[in-house]
Amino acid sequence: MTFGNVIYRLVTGSSWHFAAEISRLSVIVASFIGISYAARKGRHISMSAFFDLSPRPVKKALAIIIPFVTAIVLFAVGYFAVLYTHGIYESGRTTAALQFPFWLMVVAIPIGCFLGGIQFLRNMWINIVNKEIYLAQDKKDYSEQQETQI
Amino acid sequence: MLWTLLGVMVITLLLGFPMMIPLIAGPLIMILFFMDGLEPTIMIQQMAEGISSYVLIAVPLFIFAADIMTSGRTSQKLLDFVGAFVRHLSGGYAITTAAACTMFGSISGSTQATVVAIGKPMRQRLLKAGYKDSSAIALIINASDVALLIPPSIGMIIYALVADASVGDLFIAGIGPGVLIFIFFAAYAFIHAKIFNIPLAPKADWKERRSVFIKALMPLGFPVIIVGGIYTGQFTPTEAAGISVLYALILEVFVFRSIKLKEIPDIALSSGIVTSAVFVLVAGGQAFSWVISFARIPTMLTDAVIPADPTALQVLVIVAVFFFIGCMFVDPIVVILILTPIFAPVATMAGVDPIHLGVVIVFQAALGSATPPFGVDIFTASAVFNKSYLDVIRGTPPYIVILLLTSVLVIVFEDISLFLLNLF
Amino acid sequence: ACGGNDDGADNGNTDTGNNGDNGEAAGDIEPQEWRFVVEETQGQVQYEYAQEFADLVDEKSGGALDIDVYEFGALGSEVDQVEQLTQGIVEFAIISPGFTGTLVPEGNIFALQFLFTDDQETNQEILNESEAINEQLVPLYEEQGILPLAFWTEGAMQWTGNSPLQTPDDFQGFQMRTQESPLILESYEAYGANPTAMSWGELYTGLQQGAVDGQENPIFFIADANFNEVQDYMTISNHNMYVTMTTVNPDFYNGLDEEVQQIIDESVEEMRERGFEIQEEQNNEFLSQIEDDEDNPTEITELSEEERDAFRELALPVRDYFRENGGDQAEEILDTLEQEIEDMSGEDIGAGESGDDAEDEVDNENSNNDMNEDEDDEE
Ligand code: NA
Ligand code: NA
């Protein structure tokens, strides 16, 4: 879209005023919908020094508690995001250039938080039912991985 | 209130929670328990706001372009070309990396985009040349952050507006400290390479240089178009990011045929995960900085520390400490907007040159952004290189020391920033 | 702050004169802390206005009513601030209609160029007195949870460019940076320019590198943001004025004691004149600063009456665009306002010259459709 904007501007000397809005929408959608996918792959950034150095039982406990609390926080944020999105929906606000309803711009936030919360619950569950320690559903703890990390 | 906020953040951080939790739960608890009558929905508004800036859109695009180029052959050819000129020099690759990051960072206006666009290919070559991963990543992060000082610098533009100074003068004044840092980085790279015995490759002859140059011709169009395009005003940094995606796609898919079209969705998905991991933190950071601004915490703190009749040096040191710590936690632009109006009048009364003050402030903003715990460039590096947070920050201390040392020099000797201005 | 109060007393308003003298009369007011957020940074017009307003309210209430002014940047973007006012997170805000164009499209009326006169004092008088604004437009904001207490100007808008801008011809192919409002974009397209939306944070570099050729702003903002450093020409075009509103959250305001409401109302009234003076002082001061800046010379010219007419003629069809796309009440409000401006200024600003009768409207609809088709083809 941004690229199209340049070409269009170079060719016609004018601009797609809505390029910025579409890009903004995609960034919000990608960021929040991506929470659950990154959670599944264990790609969220964290400071793992204490975790890495802990003895196995502590590690196991943390591997259950951390995703649980994270899920709770995400559900709480998701709940407030529903309220926020609903408020925008009621106000009837639209975007400046494309004039489409503004609530569409932010609706990815509640959806992403709830999907993310569910995925963190699954990360917790896999640590409850399995003996091994999982950093995420698709990622075992570094010390228990057979294959080397790239 | 402040202690609860910091307590929640530090504990969740140290226990190894995903970094978004300290940034989100901290402000959430503040609003729910300490700020009467405030609806937590305000957090959602600010999280959306945090990732709505037009400049930020360049970041996912550069991530995508860099992913395409490193999956294919573009970056390989570019690096062969650079290598033919610097591989026989002690610290040659490191110095080239520092120069490339600083240059790209200054024109793109986004240090995150720089970590991705330059850092990703350069890191591979640094590893190949025998550097440890932690020193390679630390170099990339710090050299990218120095770009905040090099014109055109958005930090300086914002400072100029708030403090009523000339942007042009600030741009000139930033050159001295910028060059000084670069010299120190280069010296460190040279010494580091000697100490750690980074092996030198044989010097390339002109025949080889010509051959890699010809092979790199098409990929060389990439920096030429991006840098030239932005400098001549053909497009904005965000648009340049869009162009680079297309250029990378054309080269890899149609010219080199090193990537099949059906592999593109997988690359896009991986870029998407990296974007998400970083941007959720940017969103949380905005909610955090809203809460502390709303609670007037910056004013409370500054009121407590500014002495009655400060000397110029006292003011500069206090300013440096505040901006450094502020930028360790919050976006530099927000820090400049909030703290500058508090300090600028005090500094003027103490006889500090406003241009010099601006350079010191932007310098500290750059330094704070590269310093743990909450540097956005550290997050970006962690996500892009798929390295743990600790691995990313392990190599940063030497650079932080260099930057601290330089900032002491810049604070004490105002001529480092002002001498170029005085020449004209 | 003291100066503000003296000036308030000078303008012959006996009520305020008394209040200013004995603030302790209001001793029974329950102490309250309020927040007032503005769209500008410290030292700029809105911030100074809000600070003086806060001082007035403090004084009139004997120190019971404490207003904390939040500068731009502390609480998010301008649009965020609007939401924060409607939710009662802040009690007061200065809101420019341009940032609420999607909530109250009728408010975009202030983006129309060459609608008001080039005499700012007359314009401020119109803003104070106009029925179209204070009786027709205000309720539309109230429906959205924004209660405007006063409309006021931060000064006339001027053009700067890297080439002279004196006639519509100068705008042919000119890359003009504007705010992201369809009506403003439409206005510059009518002159033949290529308007581009860009955030002001990117604008300095954009002008320096030539991504855009020019921009529009009040003088104080042009100088404060240093745009004159990277522009060679400035035209005193007075093509419109930057209008902003002092607003309050309606639920909060209506829930206040009558006595407190009266303090607010009086302060707003006194600030009408002070607001005008603040912007006048700043714009004059910054104009001399641009003139005297020898390192970055800027050639400054003014539009003559004939030159204004040439632009106004091209700007007239944009008024019809506004009548049709500016919301349900747009036509009624613009018609009333045009009449009021002509009555109060005695100038011919082109009221009723187009768009008033049915025939014209059909023509315009056709031409609008044509334009849309053209755009579709190009995309
Ligand atoms: Na820069
Ligand atoms: Na930071």
- Mean pLDDT throughout B313-323? 91
Q: Using 50, 70 and 90 to split pLDDT, how confident is the model at B203?
A: confident
What percentage of chain B exceeds 90 in pLDDT? 16
Counted residue by residue, chain C has a size of 379
Dihedral sign from CA coordinates of C11, C14, C16, C21? positive
Mutate to test the interface with B, among C47, C71, C217, C226 (most CBs of B within 10 A): C226
Counted residue by residue, chain A has a size of 150
- Minimum-distance CB partner of A73 among B25, B54, B277: B25
- Mean pLDDT throughout C24-30? 66
CB contact at 8 A, C156 and C117 = no
For residue A17, the model assigns a pLDDT of 54
Q: Count CB atoms within 10 A of the CB of residue C58.
A: 18
Two structure tokens written together for A98: 């494309």
For residue B344, the model assigns a pLDDT of 86
- Minimum-distance CB partner of B164 among C43, C84, C229: C43
Q: Using 50, 70 and 90 to split pLDDT, how confident is the model at A148?
A: very low
Min Cα–Cα distance to chain C from B239, Å: 11
| pLDDT above 70 (res C290) | yes
Q: Name the residue among B138, B147, B45 with its Cα closest to residue B102.
A: B147
User: Which ligand places an atom closest to the C-alpha of B332?
Assistant: 2
Fill in the DSSP letter of residue B369.
H
Residue B142 C-alpha to ligand 2 middle, in angstroms? 13
Rounded distance, CA C78 to CA C39, Å?
Answer: 6
- Greater model confidence, C328 or B146: C328
pTM over 0.80, yes/no: yes
- Mean pLDDT throughout A121-145? 86
Q: Do the domain assignments include residue A75? A: yes
Rounded distance, CA C238 to CA C217, Å?
Answer: 10
Q: Do the domain assignments include residue A132? A: yes
For residue A6, the model assigns a pLDDT of 55
- Greater model confidence, C352 or B243: B243
CB contact at 8 A, C127 and C133 = yes
Size of interface A-B (CB pairs under 8 A): 157
Q: What are phi and psi of A92, to 5 degrees?
A: 75, 15
Q: What are phi and psi of C160, to 5 degrees?
A: -125, 155
Q: Do the domain assignments include residue A63? A: yes
- Greater model confidence, C102 or A70: A70
| pLDDT above 60 (res C5) | no
- Minimum-distance CB partner of B238 among A2, A31, A81: A2
For residue C354, the model assigns a pLDDT of 60
Residue C31 contacts by C-beta under 8 Å, 6 or more apart in sequence?
Answer: C64, C65, C66
Domain count, chain A: 1
What distance separates the 2 farthest-apart alpha carbons in chain C? 69
Q: Name the residue among B225, B226, B224 with its Cα closest to residue B58.
A: B226
Q: Using 50, 70 and 90 to split pLDDT, how confident is the model at B88?
A: confident
Chain A contact present for C184, CB below 8 A: no
The whole domain housing A140 covers: 29-149
For residue C15, the model assigns a pLDDT of 43
Residue B291 contacts by C-beta under 8 Å, 6 or more apart in sequence?
Answer: B5, B26, B27, B30, B31, B35, B43
For residue B55, the model assigns a pLDDT of 66
Rounded distance, CA C91 to CA C154, Å?
Answer: 22
For residue A103, the model assigns a pLDDT of 94
For residue C89, the model assigns a pLDDT of 94
Q: Do the domain assignments include residue A129? A: yes
- Mean pLDDT throughout B285-291? 87
For residue A145, the model assigns a pLDDT of 59
Which is it for strands C214-218 and C147-161: parallel, antiparallel or unpaired? antiparallel
Two structure tokens written together for C140: 């539309």
Residue-averaged pLDDT of chain B:
85
Q: Using 50, 70 and 90 to split pLDDT, how confident is the model at C367?
A: very low
- Least confidently predicted of A143-147, B343-347, B420-424, C318-322: A143-147
Q: Tens of pLDDT along C139-158?
A: 999 999 999 999 999 999 99
- Mean pLDDT throughout B396-419? 91
- Mean pLDDT throughout B159-182? 86
For residue C242, the model assigns a pLDDT of 95
Q: What are phi and psi of C185, to 5 degrees?
A: -60, -45
User: Taking CB atoms and an 8 Å limit, are B246 and A45 in contact across chains?
Assistant: no
| pLDDT above 50 (res B120) | yes
- Least confidently predicted of B226-235, B274-283, C190-199: B226-235
User: Exposure of C369 by Cβ count < 10 A (0-12 exposed, 13-18 middle, 19+ buried)?
Assistant: exposed
**Residue tagged 């607003």 (tokens):** C247
Q: Using 50, 70 and 90 to split pLDDT, how confident is the model at B215?
A: confident
For residue B310, the model assigns a pLDDT of 84
> Which residues on A lie below 8 Å from C201 (Cβ)?
none
Q: Do the domain assignments include residue A43? A: yes
Residue-averaged pLDDT of chain C:
86
Q: Using 50, 70 and 90 to split pLDDT, how confident is the model at C11?
A: very low
For residue C361, the model assigns a pLDDT of 42
For residue C374, the model assigns a pLDDT of 36
Chain A contact present for C146, CB below 8 A: no
Q: Using 50, 70 and 90 to split pLDDT, how confident is the model at C300?
A: very high
Q: Tens of pLDDT along B8-17?
A: 888 998 898 9
Two structure tokens written together for B70: 């490193």
What percentage of chain C exceeds 90 in pLDDT? 69
| pLDDT above 90 (res C122) | yes
- Whether residue B152 is preceded by a cis peptide bond, meaning omega within 30 degrees of 0, is yes
- Greater model confidence, C17 or B117: B117
Q: Name the residue among B310, B282, B250, B270 with its Cα closest to residue B52.
A: B282
- Greater model confidence, A70 or C347: A70
- Mean pLDDT throughout C320-346? 95
For residue C168, the model assigns a pLDDT of 96
| Angle of CA points A76, A77, A82, to nearest 5° | 100
User: Which ligand places an atom closest to the C-alpha of B335?
Assistant: 2
Residue B257 contacts by C-beta under 8 Å, 6 or more apart in sequence?
Answer: none
Give whole-number Cα distances, A66 to A123, B16, B372, B374, in Å: 10, 8, 22, 20
| pLDDT above 90 (res B391) | no
Position C24, amino acid:
E
Q: Where are the domains of chain B?
A: 53-259+296-422
For residue A2, the model assigns a pLDDT of 54
Q: Do the domain assignments include residue A19? A: no
| pLDDT above 90 (res B54) | no
| pLDDT above 70 (res A149) | no
Residue-averaged pLDDT of chain A:
83
| pLDDT above 90 (res A84) | yes
How far is C-alpha B308 from the geometric centre of its chain's CA atoms?
A: 36
State yes or no: ipTM above 0.85: no
User: Taking CB atoms and an 8 Å limit, are C173 and A13 in contact across chains?
Assistant: yes
For residue A63, the model assigns a pLDDT of 93
Residue B410 C-alpha to ligand 2 middle, in angstroms? 21
User: Taking CB atoms and an 8 Å limit, are B45 and C208 in contact across chains?
Assistant: no
User: Taking CB atoms and an 8 Å limit, are C210 and B232 in contact across chains?
Assistant: yes
Q: Using 50, 70 and 90 to split pLDDT, how confident is the model at A43?
A: confident
Q: Using 50, 70 and 90 to split pLDDT, how confident is the model at C27?
A: low
Q: Do the domain assignments include residue A14? A: no
Chain C contact present for A94, CB below 8 A: yes
Two structure tokens written together for C82: 């609007």
Q: Using 50, 70 and 90 to split pLDDT, how confident is the model at B4?
A: confident
- Greater model confidence, A100 or A87: A87
